[in-house]
């Protein structure tokens, strides 16, 4: 009796161990792609911004989340599942998007995310789907005209963005204030908590549209190629998403979306 109980105990332990190992395994180790998981679930779970006009923005009046990134996510849901509504959008910020992808909360990140070598250590990226560049937003009466005027000034940025890292390098004399998201960052600029806000030109453009008293200055001082973030080691899904982006461009749908959100033709390199 005692002998059998010991065996049952050992077996349970073995199963528990196998189960834990299975749960920890990455896509690469198990051989299953996120693509299979999406098909099984019959729904794509996309991490998008809720506070970034033109890319991913939750309209407080309608409750709808919309933007260029959101439309790309819907087009991907349509390609995978035949219906753009088979999608669940989850809010990510610049600092939550990579952890949320890694722990399986979302299938992909489509959220104004620059492809960088540092981020490539943690996740994989699709091909570039948008080219942005970092700039500055200031009140229209501000004396600040570019990065050379930032010494001793308070510059607002968002935690987890490339923008705060870059500005520390480009304007080491500036005092950088980090906020959790772009809504709070812009609110801080408007209530004079800082002298300038820095991030990608297109994000600043959305803020300028919201309040034309704030204007872009200083041109572009970095290159920010946006990619779709995918869990590491899932070559199947990376290839699938790259094919999808190519089809989107070849079919003219990319151009349509670009015109819809940015009111201009996409440049030749997009």
Which residues lie near ligand GLU (CB under 6 A)? 94, 112-114, 158, 161-163, 199-200, 203, 224
- Nearest to ligand GLU of 38, 228 (CB atom): 228
**CA distance to 73, 96, 128, 246, per residue, from 269 (Å):** 21, 29, 10, 13
Other C-beta atoms closer than 10 Å to the C-beta of 215 total 16
Closest distance of CB 164 from ligand GLU, Å: 8
Cβ partners under 8 Å of residue 71, min gap 6: 257, 260, 261
Closest distance of CB 127 from ligand GLU, Å: 16
Closest distance of CB 78 from ligand GLU, Å: 25
Residue 222's Cβ-side half-sphere holds a number of Cα atoms within 13 Å equal to 26
Closest distance of CB 162 from ligand GLU, Å: 4
- Nearest to ligand GLU of 34, 94 (CB atom): 94
- Nearest to ligand GLU of 204, 241 (CB atom): 204
- Nearest to ligand GLU of 27, 199 (CB atom): 199
**Residue facing ligand GLU at closest CB distance:** 161
């Amino acid at each position: 009796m005692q002998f059998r109980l010991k065996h049952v105990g050992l077996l349970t332990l073995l199963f528990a161990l196998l189960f834990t190992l299975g749960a920890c395994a990455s896509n690469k180790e198990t051989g299953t792609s996120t693509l299979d998981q999406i098909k099984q679930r019959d729904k794509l779970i996309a991490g998008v911004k809720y506070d970034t006009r033109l890319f991913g923005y939750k309209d407080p009046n309608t409750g709808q989340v919309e933007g260029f990134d959101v439309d790309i996510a819907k087009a991907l849901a349509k390609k995978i599942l035949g219906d753009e509504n088979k999608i669940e959008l989850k809010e990510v910020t610049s600092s939550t998007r990579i952890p949320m992808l890694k722990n399986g909360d979302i299938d992909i990140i489509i959220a104004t995310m620059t492809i960088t070598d540092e981020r490539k250590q943690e996740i994989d990226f699709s091909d570039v789907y948008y080219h942005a560049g970092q700039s500055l937003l200031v009140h229209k009466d501000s004396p600040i005209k570019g990065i050379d005027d930032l010494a001793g000034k308070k510059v607002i940025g968002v935690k987890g963005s490339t923008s705060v890292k870059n500005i520390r390098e480009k304007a080491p004399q500036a005092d950088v204030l980090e906020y959790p998201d772009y809504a709070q960052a812009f609110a801080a600029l408007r209530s004079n908590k800082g002298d300038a806000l820095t991030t990608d030109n297109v994000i600043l453009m959305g803020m300028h549209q919201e309040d034309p008293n704030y204007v872009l200055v200083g041109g572009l001082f970095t290159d920010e190629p946006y990619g779709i973030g995918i869990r590491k080691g899932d070559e199947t899904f990376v290839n699938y998403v790259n094919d999808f982006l190519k089809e989107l461009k070849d079919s003219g749908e990319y151009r349509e979306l670009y015109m819809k959100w940015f009111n201009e033709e996409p440049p030749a390199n997009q």
